[in-house]
Amino acid sequence: MILAHNYQVPEVQLIADFVGDSLELARRSAEVEKDLVVFCGVDFMAETASILNPKKKVLIPDLEARCPMASQLPVQVVRDAKKKHPDAAVVLYVNTLAEAKAEADVICTSANSPQVVNALEEEEVLFGPDRNLAWFVQRRSGKKIVPIPEDGHCYVHKMFSPADLSLLKERFPDAEILVHPECDPKVQELASHICSTTQMLVRAKASSAKRFIIVTEVGLVDRLRRENPNKEFIPLLETAVCKEMKKHSLEKVYLALRDEKHVVKVPEKIAERARKSIERMFEISGKAPRD
């Protein structure tokens, strides 16, 4: 089975068995019936698939597809924060490496983060690594959200500015503005809707609007245009490209299949603990309506 994230290049999306956002891919990873999984995404996504499928072979076409945000939260930072806040719950974004996930009480994605946090009994929540997503969650919960690290972020979503968005909004006043919650708060405040990538797809199909300004990585725009040919999608920045997501190509997918490389395997002691935090997310959000 070939799984691909919404930010992959169009040709990889088109040959994938399933394309989705982080939550959908995590769910799909848990349902895999095939013995071989090729994951066209970044490292933490392939790790998640491996954690959920310990007896199956999980491959990533390019080992350089590493998420910079995930590397901003090494496991020791999580452990140190837990010592300072012993009564806090630990909610980590899926955009973390397996060692960090093993220290979490529960994992979340951009699609279900408020739902996950609001389901917890604890009033204080350590939340990382994305500070902007933490701000998004804070506004939708009555919890005290403590971001770890202090300034974790996605370098792509940091490219967007409120000034650029305001100018485009003036140019296209009839457009709905769909903004990813990894964007800075000032950008989120200008949104018509704050959405994960798949929530953007769902909103674009359901809306009566004919024009949309898309404030996330440009890979999603290809899919939006492909699935909604009668609507217009304007990326806020054509240069908003995740270099790591774009490491995969058709040739690399072919070589991964031919040679069964590169294998992603999480050590079982870490995987076992991380699996519990992922499964708890499914328990909280699994019965929710499709994100």
For residue 262, whether the previous peptide bond is cis, meaning omega lies within 30 degrees of 0, is: yes
Cα gap 33→210, rounded to integer Å: 39
Is-contact 104 153, C-beta < 8 A?
Answer: no
Q: Counting Cβ atoms within 10 Å, is residue 159 exposed (0-12), middle (13-18) or buried (19+)?
A: middle
Cα gap 138→145, rounded to integer Å: 6
CATH code for the structural domain at 157-235: 3.40.50.10800
pLDDT of residue 290: 39
Helix (H, G, I), strand (E, B) or coil at 19: strand
pLDDT of residue 201: 96
Q: Which fold has domain 69-154+272-285?
A: Rossmann fold (3.40.50)
* Cα→Cα distances 276→37, 41, 70, 280, Å: 21, 22, 19, 6
The pLDDT profile of the chain, 291 residues, written as one tens digit per residue, is: 999 999 999 999 999 999 998 878 888 888 888 899 999 999 999 999 999 999 899 999 999 999 999 999 999 999 999 999 999 999 999 999 999 999 999 999 999 999 999 999 999 999 999 999 999 999 999 899 999 999 999 999 999 999 999 999 999 999 999 999 999 999 999 999 999 999 999 999 999 999 999 999 999 999 999 999 999 999 999 999 999 999 999 999 999 999 999 999 999 999 999 999 999 999 998 644 333
pLDDT of residue 286: 66
pLDDT of residue 161: 98
For residue 54, whether the previous peptide bond is cis, meaning omega lies within 30 degrees of 0, is: no
- As annotated, the residues of the chain forming the CATH 3.40.50.10800 domain(s) are 2-66+245-266, 69-154+272-285, 157-235
pLDDT of residue 39: 95
Torsion angles phi and psi, residue 148, rounded to 5: -130, 130
Is the overall model pTM greater than 0.85, yes or no? yes
Is-contact 190 162, C-beta < 8 A?
Answer: yes
Helix (H, G, I), strand (E, B) or coil at 118: helix
How crowded is residue 288: how many other Cβ atoms within 10 Å of its Cβ?
11
CA gyration radius, the chain: 18
CATH code for the structural domain at 2-66+245-266: 3.40.50.10800
